[in-house]
Chains A and B, each alone.
Chain A
Amino acid sequence: MNKMFKWSLAVVCAVVSTGSVMAQGDGGPLIDALVKKGVLSSQEGEEIRADMLTDLSSTPGGMISWGSSAVRGVRIYGDARMRYQYDNEPAQVTAPAVVTNPDASRSRYRYRVRLGADYTFAENWRAGVRLETAAGATSTNSDLGGYFDKTGDEARFGLVFLQYSSNDPALFGFSFADSFDLRLGKHAHPFYVNGVNGFLWDTDANPEGASEQIGWTNVGIDNLDITLRGGQYLTAANDTRTSAETEALFVAQIETKYEWASKSGVIFAPMLMAQTEGVAQNGDNLDNLLIFAAPAEVYFNVWTRPLKLYGTIGMNLEGEQRTDILFAGEQQDNNAILANLGFTYGSARNKGGWSIGAEYRYIESGSANPQLLDSDFNAGLTNAQGIIGTASYAFTDNITGTVSYFDATNINENLTTRGGIGRGAGGGTARVLQVDLSWRF
């Protein structure tokens, strides 16, 4: 009996006896029987079992076949998180150095839920939607309390997108890259950024518009990959009733990644972000955002666990002009530079796994876009420097506990917060402690 026939027989038998195979997860009893009867050798049985197990286990949530429609498969996924948060972020609404409420401490009990579904179509197309709690761009948290009421418990769409991705892209029969990815709608951005919560681009903030990514692998030498990314996003829509105008954010990035060994490599990904106009922390529409940033990281294993050292240096090339407008009449030194430097060690992805991390951040007053900055550090406002510490532990493969601490101080103590939200390090410091219990399903 030839090998192809044996494999076909095993796979067909496995499919026919779907129920028992799925329950077992690896078609074990069937393969054992075929091995015992001598249809398969022990080694052939193991190879088939390993392939089936990999296929089954690499489709989390399972794939449902919708053979009668354009939808070839659906992946349903989600996660939830309970959070205790202590924060003390006193705002400074008049300068210099006057704090309206020096002790703004509070304890909050929060939760978030995200429920998503990805729909797979033919010919490399995919669509996705995700519902999530909270309305803000950079937060998915809802507050508990209110004697069991459901105020603020509404779910909103965080993702609505159409995606085309191919590992063998071709145009008129000409193969132009090793991978191509196009996303349209409200989607997760494809750009490489680093740091806790994404630092200069909060991981909760999903842009609306188009993203493109083209990649080449083994460029010149083995394991040297280059990826180009672009993004065109709508940040405000024209409305004659309010005289609002259409505004946009444009982003471009070139990433170079080199792995000198398995799980050991370096990434360098300079990027440019340009915005026609955007709401600053004083509520005004401001342009003067032309940010050049260079995020980078080195990663390798130390004592069998992954260590990642990362950092970013960036500058708003129009930071001075932006600060002139934003903080008119105030002292305006230190206005264009942003940076972070940190590490993570370990991984809390699987049961018993743990990770720790620490990061230093520096964000001058006119250096960044507060719409995108991580909202947990200094309430997402500029003119801050400080540290972040995190530690995570995986109780099971899908339940994780995390403790995070954010401590920010003003870079320029004589600047007002200029925030309409009554938060920020205007009082000198902004401290946030978060204790999270998260689970994926």
Chain B
Amino acid sequence: MKKTILSLFAIALTLASAQAEKLVIKGSDTLGAKMVPQLAEAFKAKNPGTTFEIAAEGSTTGLAAITDGTADIGMSSRRARGTEMATAATKGVKMVPTIVSFDGMGIIVNKANGMNAMTKADVQKIFTGDVTDWSQLGGKAGKISAYTRNTASGTYQDFKDLAMNKRDYAKASQKMAGNEQIAAEVGKNPNGIGYVGMAYLKAPGIKVLPVDGHLPNKKEVQAKSYPYARPNFFYTNGAPTGKAKEFIDFIFSPAGHNIVDQVGFVPAK
């Protein structure tokens, strides 16, 4: 009898684990550090059979994972490049983008910095290295420390496209692994400047500078008036299906929109 009960228990356990479905999501740190894990938790609460594997190591890794077939969803804070689309196509993969949210890359400086506003030209000059001291922009003298994301980051590329006229970053700029690290460094360094997603604008020790009079907030991003506003993507191989589709549908639900909003992103409709 005992053996029978144990066997039945083992079978039930096996069936239960077979029912569990894992969703593998890789890519953007901007999306994967806060927003997607919170969405995943809420989705799991409604779908107990689903588990998540989330790796946030940069948009490039997410797009590559779709091409390689190692993820169900590739998070990307930038659009896939032509070469990435071509590579995917040669492997029989059709990269399909779904805009899941919008974001604005905010320009942050240390709270002690005397600058209170900037122009787009100023931002370009700082990050390309055309100016290297705050005094060149009318601020208090001090060598500018520009913090950027690393090259695997979609934000790194998007900022280059949107804010730097596609010019190269200054050699002296310092590459950080994620938004949190940039915000932390700028918060500690009175001469620091960086850019982070809207979810990180409330970090301690920093302040957000308006650019040409525009701030990265929900209204400006929705109206596309903020110059560094951009869509965030989920890429899938073909149109989303199965659990991936269910998860994306959840993001577009009122509950999903609420989480996206609370984390600091602008929900996509």
A and B co-occur in one complex: yes
Interface residues of chain A, those whose CB is within 8 Å of chain B, are: 25-26, 36, 42-43, 46-47, 49-50, 53-54, 56-58, 60, 261-264, 301, 304-306, 349-350, 397
Q: Is B97 an interface residue (CB 8 A)?
A: yes
B246 within 8 A of partner (CB):
no
Interface pair B83/A25, CB less than 8 Å apart = no
**20 A-B pairs in the complex with CB atoms less than 8 angstroms apart:** A25-B82, A26-B79, A42-B231, A46-B231, A46-B233, A47-B96, A50-B80, A53-B80, A53-B82, A53-B85, A54-B94, A56-B82, A58-B90, A261-B69, A263-B68, A263-B69, A263-B91, A301-B68, A305-B68, A349-B87
Neighbouring A residues of B70 by C-beta, 8 Å: 301, 304
B237 at the binding interface (Cβ < 8 Å): yes
State in angstroms the CA–CA spacing of A53 and B82 once bound together: 6
Give A54 to B102 CA distance when docked, in angstroms: 23
B117 vs chain A, min Cβ distance (A)? 25
Residue pair A42, B79 in contact (C-beta under 8 Å): no
Within 8 A of A (CB), among B54-112: 64-65, 68-70, 79-80, 82-83, 85-87, 89-91, 94-99, 102
Contacts of B23 in A (CB 8 A): none
Looking at the assembled complex, report how far the CB atom of A44 sits from the nearest CB atom of chain B, in whole angstroms: 10
Judged by DSSP, the binding face of B is mixed
Residue B44 at the chain A interface, CB threshold 8 Å: no
Which chain B residue has the least Cβ–Cβ distance from A300? B69
Contacts A58-B89, A263-B68, A304-B68 given: A50-B95 contact, CB under 8 Å? yes
Complex A-B, nearest 7 residue pairs according to Cβ-Cβ distance, in ascending order: A262-B69, A57-B86, A263-B69, A57-B82, A58-B89, A46-B97, A53-B85
Note all chain B residues with C-beta closer than 8 A to A60: 86
- Decide if B22 is an interface residue (CB 8 Å cutoff): no
B224 CB-CB contact with A under 8 Å: yes
B94: chain A residues within 8 A (beta carbon): 54
Q: Could you tell me if B233 and A54 are in contact, using CB atoms closer than 8 angstroms?
A: no
Cα A262 to Cα B99 with chains together (Å): 24
B85 touching A57, Cβ below 8 Å: yes
- How far is the CB of A208 from the nearest CB of chain B, in Å? 28
Q: Which residue of A lies closest to B223 (CB)?
A: A36
Contacts of B95 in A (CB 8 A): 50, 54
CB distance from A52 to the nearest CB of B (A): 10
**8 Å CB interface, B114-149 against A:** none
Question: Is the beta-carbon distance between B97 and A50 smaller than 8 angstroms?
Answer: yes
Q: Determine how close the nearest CB of chain A comes to the CB of B155; give it in whole angstroms.
A: 18
B268 adjacent to A43 (CB under 8 Å): yes
The main secondary structure of chain A at its interface with chain B is: mixed
CA distance A301 to B66 in the complex (A): 12
In Å, the complex CA distance between A60 and B83 comes to 11
| Chain B neighbourhood of A305, CB < 8 A | 68
> A223 → chain B, closest Cβ, in Å?
12
Most buried by A among B69, B79, B91: B69
Is there contact, CB below 8 Å, between B268 and A42?
yes
Asked if A46 and B85 make an inter-chain contact with CB atoms under 8 angstroms apart, the answer reads: no
- Residues of the A chain whose Cβ atoms lie less than 8 Å from the Cβ of B64: 304
**Which of A42, A54, A304 contacts B85, CB < 8 Å?**
A54
Q: How far is the CB of A42 from chain B (nearest CB, A)?
A: 5
| Minimal beta-carbon separation of A38 from chain B (angstroms) | 11
Min distance, Cβ B125 to any Cβ of chain A, angstroms: 24
B98, A43: Cβ atoms closer than 8 Å: yes
> Distance (Å) between the CB of B58 and the closest chain A CB?
13
- CB-CB < 8 A to A47: which residues of B? 96-97
Which chain B residues lie closer than 8 Å to A263 at the CB level?
A: 68-69, 91
Minimal beta-carbon separation of B245 from chain A (angstroms):
15
CB pair B96–A50 under 8 Å, yes or no, is yes
- Docked Cα-Cα span, A57 to B87, in Å, equals 9
Bound-complex Cα distance A301 to B85 (A): 20
- Cα A264 to Cα B68 with chains together (Å): 10
CA distance A49 to B85 in the complex (A): 11
CA distance in complex: A26, B83 (Å): 12
Contacts of B233 in A (CB 8 A): 46
Tell whether A262 pairs with B80 under 8 Å between CB atoms, given A43-B99, A50-B97: no
**Chain B residue with the shortest CB-CB distance to A44:** B99
Minimum distance in angstroms from B32 CB to a CB of chain A? 16
Are A58 and B97 interface neighbours, CB within 8 A?
Answer: no
Residues in B whose Cβ lies below 8 Å from that of A56:
82
Q: Which residues of B contact A57 (CB under 8 A)?
A: 82-83, 85-86, 89
> Within 8 Å CB of A25, what residues of B?
82
Contacts A36-B224, A42-B268, A43-B268 given; does A26 touch B231 at CB 8 Å: no
CA distance A57 to B64 in the complex (A): 16
How many Å lie between the Cα of A314 and that of B87 in the bound state? 35
Inter-chain pairs besides A42-B102, A263-B91, 18 sampled, C-beta below 8 Å: A26-B79, A26-B82, A42-B99, A42-B231, A43-B268, A46-B79, A46-B98, A46-B231, A46-B233, A47-B97, A57-B86, A58-B90, A60-B86, A304-B70, A305-B68, A349-B87, A350-B87, A397-B83
